[in-house]
Structure 1
Amino acid sequence: MQEKLFIIALFCYLISSVKYFLYLAFRRKLLFIVANSSVAAGFVVHTAGLVMRSIQTGQGPYTSGYEYTLFFSWAIILVYLIVEIRYRIQDFGSFVVPMGFLLLVYSLTLPSETVAANPAIKLSLTLHRTLSFLGYSAFALAFGAGIMYLLQERQLKSKKFGPLFYRLPSLEVIDDINHKLVAFGFPVFSIGFITGSMLALKGKGSFFSWQLSTLPLMVTWIIYGGLFTGRIAVGLRRKKAAVWAIIGFLSVMATYFLHVY
């Protein structure tokens, strides 16, 4: 049953992604309404599927590549919906919802077997992975904002103002959204990172494991730590912040794929 729910959510996200792109191109209010309704419906169904998965396994959906990816997709849509409700940036969905859709597509290609978590660390593991993926999701949206910023800046510098220029937010608004997403994502991710390090200390006797799968995690933390503190300390903002957000998300995806495989 849960697999059917994930497939329904997949089609909702597909419809939403297409409608957001059409709205960006043609500016028809009905397209935006359908896009928003579809992503919200998909999120509800996706949530129901994750709840069913957790009930079935007796643990949070965080113990296999299949479950990581399901949750990552869900978290991106969650953070997007919060940002959409708070800031009403109607074109943001064109840059974000497709990421949630593609991750959900990818999750359905992975083996769906359950991996039992150690009961002694189940709660800490759930906290670690929940916070880590919520942080990743905020970084995914910051990546989308970074792409939007570079597109707008390119049009301004070239003085060739296409239709996209008048439909995307101003550079100031995009930069502010980028900052707020990183300001949320970095502390949340840091707590998840510290929790994971404590689990490593408990399980392996070392606070940090110098393995291939953990090195990108440290790189990701350094990149976003630099972006978070750099804005405050040295005024790292605008184009530089957008580029850092894009590079940081590439590191996030490297970390994700190394953990999945």
Structure 2
Amino acid sequence: MFDISQYCLVAAAILVAVALVAKIIGFARSSERSPDHAYSATGREGGVLLAERPAFASPETGHGAGSGEPHGFIWYGSRMTWLALAFLTASLAARAIVTGHGPFTNQHEFAVSFAWGMLVAYVWVEYRYKARTLALLVLPIAGAMLLYALSIDSEVRPLMPALQNNFLLTLHVATAVLAYGGAAVSFAAAALYLIRPHVKWNGLPSRDLLDEIGYRGALFTYPMLTAMLVLGAIWADIAWGRYWSWDPKETASLVTWLIYSAYLHARVVRDWRGNKAAYLLILGFAAVLFTYYGNLFFEGMHSYA
């Protein structure tokens, strides 16, 4: 089973790379020949933009408005992404069978889970909004995370005493994985929002749609981060006898939660949009990455992960 897990992981990494190349070629070709399509919002509800599925979201179809499925390299890129997600799911499942618990207990396992969360979030956004250009930012990050996982120790070791609670381990880290996946999609949408006025590329979605995707991603990320913090505090009290110890990873998680709190407050209360909101989403994902990698540089109670 361990070998199956590793083979599936390698296959997923290769498929992510192939999907990225296919997307780049597909969008480059479509940008050369497709007319630009405008997108206009049709309504708002509670300060939230209500998106339609615009024609530009499938730039290689060439069939005009209402076309839902891409063709050519973009189609292959999407299918390779879905296949990569399937292999990554199989890798995590096989790893869980080998270890007897959720595959979330060290840097290798969580790197694979982090990449899985990003692919899940991206596939959902691709299905819901047809904004396939987000792959140009999400796939490189997921691919880099998989390469990192392959470069570090993947040996299965017994759980340390603090981690021997399968129920809380699964819930705590699973919410983190889902939150980080949503944050990655929000980051990609925010980054494309900022470069959209400076890039004459017909394959890019409108700024309105990118703004909405960033917001929707943050709406998903925030409750997952909240659940992660609450579950982590409960687990910390069980394992170490106190709910909070200002461990570097705990502190970084709190800062990340505060950034997304600030973004959602500004968005909902003051209808804060545009470049400043996009910068907050980028800052939030930078905090996510620091939360994940910070324990490599700072000692603490989470140094095992």
TM-score normalised by L of structure 1: 0.92
Aligned with 2:182 (options 121, 130, 138): 138
CA contact (8 A) 1:200 1:207 kept: yes
Find the counterpart in structure 1 of residue 72 from structure 2. Answer: 30
Q: Hey, what's the Cα distance between the residues in 1 that align with 2:94 and 2:294?
A: 27
Find the counterpart in structure 2 of residue 228 from structure 1. Answer: 264
Q: Hey, what's the Cα distance between the residues in 2 that align with 1:12 and 1:120?
A: 34
Q: Hey, what's the Cα distance between the residues in 1 that align with 2:133 and 2:113?
A: 24
CA contact (8 A) 2:102 2:169 kept: no
1:181 aligns with 2:223: no
Aligned with 1:68 (options 105, 110, 133): 110
Aligned with 1:10 (options 9, 13, 24): 13
CA contact (8 A) 1:20 1:32 kept: yes
What is the DSSP-based 3-state SS (H/G/I as helix, E as strand, rest coil) of the residue aligned with 1:9? Answer: helix
What is the DSSP-based 3-state SS (H/G/I as helix, E as strand, rest coil) of the residue aligned with 1:209? Answer: coil
Structure 1 moving runs of 4+ over 3 Å: 115-120
1:124 aligns with 2:141: no
Report the more deviating stretch, 1-10 or 52-61. Answer: 1-10
Q: Hey, what's the Cα distance between the residues in 1 that align with 2:165 and 2:123?
A: 31
Find the counterpart in structure 1 of residue 280 from structure 2. Answer: 244
Deviation at 1:13, TM superposition (A): 0.4
Identity of aligned residues (%): 26
Find the counterpart in structure 2 of residue 158 from structure 1. Answer: none
Deviation at 1:43, TM superposition (A): 1.1
CA contact (8 A) 1:128 1:192 kept: yes
For 1:141-220, what aligned pairs fall within 5 Å after superposition? Answer: 141-153=185-197, 155=198, 162-164=199-201, 166-220=202-256
CA contact (8 A) 2:172 2:228 kept: yes
CA contact (8 A) 1:73 1:103 kept: yes
Larger Rg computed on CA atoms: 2
Q: Hey, what's the Cα distance between the residues in 2 that align with 1:114 and 1:230?
A: 44
Find the counterpart in structure 2 of residue 107 from structure 1. Answer: 149
Deviation at 1:120, TM superposition (A): 5.3
Q: Which amino acid aligns with 1:94?
A: L
Report the more deviating stretch, 19-28 or 184-193. Answer: 19-28
Q: Which amino acid aligns with 1:211?
A: D
Q: Hey, what's the Cα distance between the residues in 2 that align with 1:85 and 1:235?
A: 27
Determine which structure has the larger helix proportion and give its number: 1
CA contact (8 A) 2:248 2:295 kept: no
Q: Hey, what's the Cα distance between the residues in 2 that align with 1:213 and 1:115?
A: 22
Q: Which amino acid aligns with 2:188?
A: G
What is the DSSP-based 3-state SS (H/G/I as helix, E as strand, rest coil) of the residue aligned with 2:151? Answer: coil
Deviations 1:223-252 (A, max 9, x none): 011112221112222211110010111111
CA contact (8 A) 1:65 1:259 kept: no
For 1:73-112, what aligned pairs fall within 5 Å after superposition? Answer: 73-112=115-154
Q: 5+ unaligned residues in a row in structure 2: which ranges?
A: 31-59, 61-70, 297-302
Q: Which amino acid aligns with 2:88?
A: H
Q: Which amino acid aligns with 1:11?
A: I
Cα RMSD between the aligned structures? 1.5
What is the DSSP-based 3-state SS (H/G/I as helix, E as strand, rest coil) of the residue aligned with 1:257? Answer: helix
Q: Which amino acid aligns with 1:125?
A: L
Q: Hey, what's the Cα distance between the residues in 1 that align with 2:19 and 2:153?
A: 26
